[in-house]
């Protein structure tokens, strides 16, 4: 196994001590500041911005757009580690180097151990994503070990489940987080910040089954603003 980059040593220490690692996906300066102040350990700039922020199809995002998002979030992060996704069509070490130059401390990729080794060899720490599903736990453990041996700093094990997830987390020394289908059997969790706070059109008119319903609060505030302007009343913050 390659030596763990310095950027991952604090997270590895958290794993050894049994302290859960908290990660969120954020795409803008304001949310990055809020998440950083809230105490998360890792902020990931996801290529999911194309779908959730801009209303595009999956994987419809370019490296240049990821660089813009990276710079914006970088400005808002003071203490958390910053990871940035490689776009699906730019899974190579040249793109990883560009993300590092714009402030990413890790790059997140979906690929083989060879790709991980190539990016790490270029001097860029890697947050490697892989998926569970129908594969047997032993196969998933072997996959995780190959990624660790290739030099990955961190793993995002999606759709892990309590059996395979726990087996993988025990089998490797590097932290194993989980987004979709993750759980307390891993070393930590990843979640869209916008999902955690209920910021999305689909949340309108529904009870808050997240930690908040920011979509409903935002809707009601803007509707009140519309009413004030149309009734020729002074708005609540005349400086705005």
Per-residue tens of pLDDT for the chain, all 240 residues: 444 455 778 899 999 999 999 999 999 999 999 999 999 999 999 999 999 999 999 999 999 999 999 999 999 999 999 999 999 999 999 999 999 999 999 999 998 999 999 999 999 999 999 998 778 999 999 999 999 999 999 999 999 999 999 999 999 999 999 988 789 999 999 999 999 999 999 999 888 778 999 999 999 999 999 999 999 998 877 665
The pLDDT of residue 4 is 45
Token code pair at residue 157: 């094990």
Does residue 58 contact residue 50 with C-beta atoms inside 8 Å? yes
Whether 138 and 156 have beta carbons less than 8 Å apart is answered as no
- Structural domains of the chain ordered from first start: 6-196 (3.20.20.60), 198-240 (no CATH)
pLDDT of 222: 93
Note the pLDDT of residue 234: 85
Residue 179 has a pLDDT of: 81
pTM comes to 0.91
Residue 147 in contact with residue 116, Cβ under 8 Å? Answer: yes
Distance CA 99, CA 102 (A): 5
Closest C-alpha among 14, 3, 55 to residue 177? 14
* Per-residue model confidence (pLDDT) at position 240: 57
**How many Å separate Cα 137 from the centre of its chain?**
24
- Report whether 229 contacts 235 (CB < 8 A): yes
DSSP tag of 86: P
């Amino acid at each position: 196994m390659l030596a763990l980059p310095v950027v991952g040593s604090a997270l590895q220490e958290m794993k050894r001590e049994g302290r859960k690692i908290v990660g969120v996906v954020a795409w803008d300066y304001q949310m990055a500041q809020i998440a950083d102040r809230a105490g998360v350990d890792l902020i990931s700039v996801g290529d999911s911005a194309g779908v959730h922020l801009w209303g595009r199809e999956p994987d419809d995002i370019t490296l240049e757009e990821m660089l813009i998002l990276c710079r914006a979030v970088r400005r808002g992060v003071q203490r958390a580690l910053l990871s940035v996704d490689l776009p699906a069509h730019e899974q190579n070490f040249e793109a990883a180097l560009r993300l590092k130059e714009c402030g990413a401390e890790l790059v997140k990729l979906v690929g083989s151990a060879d790709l991980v080794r190539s990016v790490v060899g270029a001097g860029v720490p890697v947050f490697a994503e892989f998926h569970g599903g129908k594969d047997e736990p032993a196969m998933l453990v072997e996959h995780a070990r190959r990624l660790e041996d290739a030099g990955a700093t961190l793993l995002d094990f999606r759709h892990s489940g309590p059996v395979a997830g726990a087996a993988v987390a025990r089998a490797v020394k590097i932290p194993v987080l989980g987004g979709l289908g993750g759980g307390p059997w891993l070393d930590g969790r990843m979640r869209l910040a916008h999902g955690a706070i209920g910021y999305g059109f689909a949340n309108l008119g529904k009870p808050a089954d997240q930690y908040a319903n920011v979509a409903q609060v935002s809707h009601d505030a803007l509707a009140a603003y519309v009413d004030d302007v149309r009734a020729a009343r002074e708005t609540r913050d005349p400086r705005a």
